[in-house]
A and B are shown apart, each in its own frame.
Chain A
């Protein structure tokens, strides 16, 4: 049976990933790990996340920070090796899957398209901890004025969501800025080399012109004039 897949690629849908926290060791409501990996040319690097309870949400974010044309092939599979997501030459993406199966979900990056360019990929995989939310609810009922803890809970949750939004936006800007930087470096190098080759071309052309004019007039035949 097909697992429901909600793709969130545009900026507007970044709000869907409100539950993410950036690399915290102690799990709050999610278990998230963010890493940056260098995928060498023709390399296929895979990372895995374990889903122990069905119907947990798994969030996957990736962005190519540098290298080549800033794109990479992505392949996400569920524990039954069924392909949940298959992308070719994608620059960045933000997806949330519902983990219907229990087991190992694999997230693979493939750099087959590059002959020698290595790509740096920023990625984050988070598995939502529904157990924790239920636990907190049970604990709250026993101690303290419920209204107060609920209000605090609510505002903390909102805060967490807003901070995640800020973090997402920052990541987006960082990726774009890396791209801009690469463009400027490329512009600089292009200006240099093109100017040099144009100057060389001018010199060569004028030498050729002189040579041609000379041959016109020095075959000895005044009749050419």
Chain B
């Protein structure tokens, strides 16, 4: 596709002017659209989410941080549908919640200020961490040592994540094994039921036909 050089440079300029304030994963929300993410959480685990919401402003022709915009965060426990967290928050910040039960949770984000017919476009940067980030609050960013300490801390968190995942897998596998064995048991049960049905039908058939032929005096 052949594109004009001048058009390209304009595009580049526009692109550079809409640099997101936080790097990381982001997505767009149109109007009151809701985006939900599911997480498998163990019991009583704290989850911290950092987000930045920027609104598209026609006059500046880029995404800007608008203090009026509100982001609502809702966390539901999936099997039961209990709402364990529901908050209206400012466009840039953090939210924390603790899971009560272990299981699937749905974390939903949407703009609370947009009405049904609103056409605001919101760019939402999101980062979820399944641990308490209060430990990171004491960050000192001077010198090599603290950088190494930072890396060690990150490694610690990673190990924590792996351990958590492992215990989830262990529980899930136990469920799987129970289900497997139950299914195995059911194979036998249903086969026996089938045999019983077959035997009864057979007996009924014989009896009926014998009665029929005896009535006809053929036996």
Q: Which residues of A contact B (CB under 8 A)?
A: 21-28, 31, 33-38, 45-50, 52, 79, 102-104, 120, 125, 127, 136, 139-140, 142-144, 149, 152-153, 156, 159-160, 163-164, 166-167, 170, 173-174, 177, 180-181, 184-185, 187-188, 191-192, 195, 198-199, 202-203, 206, 209-210, 213-214, 217-218, 225
One of A125, A173, A206 near B205 (C-beta < 8 A): A206
A210 to chain B, nearest CB (A): 6
Are A139 and B144 touching (Cβ within 8 A)?
Answer: yes
CA–CA, A139 and B149, complex, Å? 14
Contacting residue for A156 out of B19, B133, B148, B162, CB 8 A: B148
A45-B37 Cα distance, complex, nearest whole Å: 12
Complex Cα distance, B202 from A45, in Å, reads: 58
Chain A's interface: helix, strand, loop or mixed, by majority? helix
- The answer on a CB contact under 8 Å between A160 and B38 is no
Given contacts A149-B148, A192-B190, contact A46 B27 (CB under 8 A): yes
Q: How far is the CB of B153 from chain A (nearest CB, A)?
A: 8
With the chains together, A187 CA to B180 CA distance in Å? Answer: 9
New contact pairs (19) apart from A28-B151, A31-B24, CB-CB < 8 Å: A47-B27, A48-B28, A49-B25, A50-B23, A52-B23, A102-B15, A102-B16, A103-B15, A125-B25, A153-B148, A163-B155, A170-B162, A170-B166, A174-B169, A184-B183, A195-B190, A199-B193, A202-B194, A217-B218
Check B23 against A26 for contact (C-beta < 8 Å): no
Most buried by B among A143, A149, A191: A191
Q: Classify chain B: how many residues form its interface, as a range.
A: 35 or more
Q: How far is the CA of A225 from the CA of B133 in the complex (A)?
A: 91
Q: B205: which A residues are within 8 A, CB to CB?
A: 206, 209-210
A160 & B27 in contact (Cβ 8 Å cutoff): no
Within 8 A of A (CB), among B71-126: 126
B130 within 8 A of A: yes
Judge whether B169 and A24 touch: CB under 8 Å. no
The residue of chain A having its C-beta at the shortest distance from the C-beta of B165 within the complex is A170
Task: Report the Cα distance A136→B144, complex, angstroms.
Answer: 7
A195 to B150, CA, bound (A): 60
Interface membership of B43, Cβ < 8 A:
no
User: Nearest-CB distance from B30 to chain A (Å)?
Assistant: 12
Q: Which of A159, A192, A214 contacts B155 (CB 8 A)?
A: A159
Report A128 CB to chain B, min CB distance, Å.
11
Instruction: State how many angstroms separate the Cβ of B189 from the closest Cβ of chain A.
Output: 9
